[in-house]
Amino acid sequence: MGDLVLVTGASGKTGRSLASLLTERGLAWRAASRSGEPPFDWSRPDTWDAALEGVASIYLVASPAMDDAHSRMVAFLQSAMRKGARRFVLLSMASLPAGGPGPGQVHQWLKDNSGDWAVLCPTAFMQNFSEGPFLSSIRAEDTIYSNTGTGRVPFISTLDIARAAFAALTASSALNSDFTLTGDESISYDRVAELIGQACGRPISHTHISTAAMAERFVGRGLPEPTAMFLAAGYQTIADGAQDRIADGLRTLTGRPATTFQAFAQASADVWRRAPNRSPTD
Ligand SMILES: NC(=O)c1ccc[n+]([C@@H]2O[C@H](COP(=O)([O-])OP(=O)(O)OC[C@H]3O[C@@H](n4cnc5c(N)ncnc54)[C@H](OP(=O)(O)O)[C@@H]3O)[C@@H](O)[C@H]2O)c1
């Protein structure tokens, strides 16, 4: 078996950056994607074996749109180990221990069943504002809706998460550990709105809404109701201060400082700008 890396979620926020890093460094990788060749679908186990052919290590990203994503991932891991994959790097989330809900179940399974794994536990992504759930209201209404109150988060760039994933996938020996990945500064959603406004040249506000309203917004974006409630409850913990902690996982894995929100906002400004002849929702 060679060093082929399978990247799930390769068209997504972290997978896309990881794929670029693997290409830049000349490493062999395969996208596990519904539109890939061979096609891969978490909900179709008959697509798994072809994607796993010759694979040595796997970056695991669950689709946020699937409510049973993590039980499917455990079944997939059993197939992967049978096919000879050795190393697994899972994208989980900050403050979610092994054995917790969702990715916490996969984290626990890896601890119990694999001898070569790493779990990345990032805080909220900066890119949620440039390509994720908050983009459309920034463009259309100049506001960010959230139930995070004045709570603060050390937001992380998905490029930094990809750098951490790259380091874990190419480590010289098994890490068998989890790494909390955060930015180096903790800021509120009010401050996020201010920084995005400065970058794109018009005022952007933060509109405070209830947790129920936040869940409704996720359902409106097509997420299953249990996932929407789980995510909205996660955002509520930000209001309660639970995410306001800076960790050193990124530096431990990559040796680099984190991207600042200001640098991210300046680099992403075009996404939020309105072309004079474009409607705000384009
Ligand atoms: N957003 C945050 O702030 C945050 C924070 C911490 C952790 N996380 C975790 O990050 C993970 C990714 O979330 P995200 O919002 O950033 O999504 P994303 O990675 O940007 O996009 C989801 C990816 O899943 C793929 N996908 C969707 N359905 C699939 C299916 N049935 N079979 C195969 N692939 C499928 C999509 O590819 P195609 O559509 O091309 O098939 C896409 O590449 C989630 O597990 C989430 O819990 C997110």
pLDDT digits (tens, 9 = 90+) for 126-177: 999 999 889 999 999 999 999 999 999 999 999 999 999 999 999 999 999 9
Q: Is residue 127 assigned to a domain? A: no
Q: Is residue 236 assigned to a domain? A: no
Residue listed under structure tokens 């700008």: 273
Give the residue among 104, 98, 107, 101 at the shortest CA–CA distance from 77.
Answer: 107
Alpha helices in 211-248 (DSSP H): 211-220, 225-239
Q: Is residue 271 assigned to a domain? A: no
Question: Does residue 153's CB lie within 6 angstroms of at least one atom of ligand 1?
Answer: no
Q: Is residue 45 assigned to a domain? A: yes
Centroid of ligand 1 to alpha carbon of 219 (angstroms): 16
Q: Is residue 148 assigned to a domain? A: no
* pTM (two decimals): 0.94
Question: Does residue 128's CB lie within 6 angstroms of at least one atom of ligand 1?
Answer: yes
Question: Does residue 183's CB lie within 6 angstroms of at least one atom of ligand 1?
Answer: no
Report the domain count for the chain: 1
Nearest residue (CA) to ligand 1, atom 17:
12
Q: Is residue 137 assigned to a domain? A: no
User: What tokens were used for 17?
Assistant: 């950056």
CATH number at residue 42: 3.40.50.720
38 vs 238, which has greater pLDDT? Answer: 238
pLDDT band, very low/low/confident/very high, at 282 (cuts 50, 70, 90): very low
275 vs 231, which has greater pLDDT? Answer: 231
Centroid of ligand 1 to alpha carbon of 15 (angstroms): 9
Q: Is the pLDDT of residue 277 over 70?
A: no
Which residue range forms the structural domain that includes residue 104? 4-122+157-182+245-258
- DSSP character string of 123-159: --BGGGTTTSTTHHHHHHHSEEEES-TT-EE--B-HH
CA angle 53, 57, 63 (to 5 degrees): 90
Distance (Å, rounded) from C-alpha 109 to C-alpha 223?
25
Check: CB of residue 90 under 8 Å from CB of residue 120. Answer: yes
Question: Does residue 61's CB lie within 6 angstroms of at least one atom of ligand 1?
Answer: yes
**Residue type at position 132:** G
User: What percent of the chain is modeled with pLDDT above 70?
Assistant: 96
Query: What are the tens digits of pLDDT across the range 213-234?
Result: 999 999 998 888 988 998 899 9
**Residue type at position 218:** F
Average pLDDT rounded to a whole number, residues 197-224: 95
Check: CB of residue 119 under 8 Å from CB of residue 92. Answer: yes
Rg of the chain, C-alpha, whole Å: 19
Query: What are the tens digits of pLDDT across the range 83-100?
Result: 999 999 999 999 889 999
How many residues are listed for the chain in this entry?
282
Q: Is residue 133 assigned to a domain? A: no
Q: Is residue 235 assigned to a domain? A: no
Rama region for 113: left / alpha / beta (φ>0; ψ in -120 to 50; rest): alpha
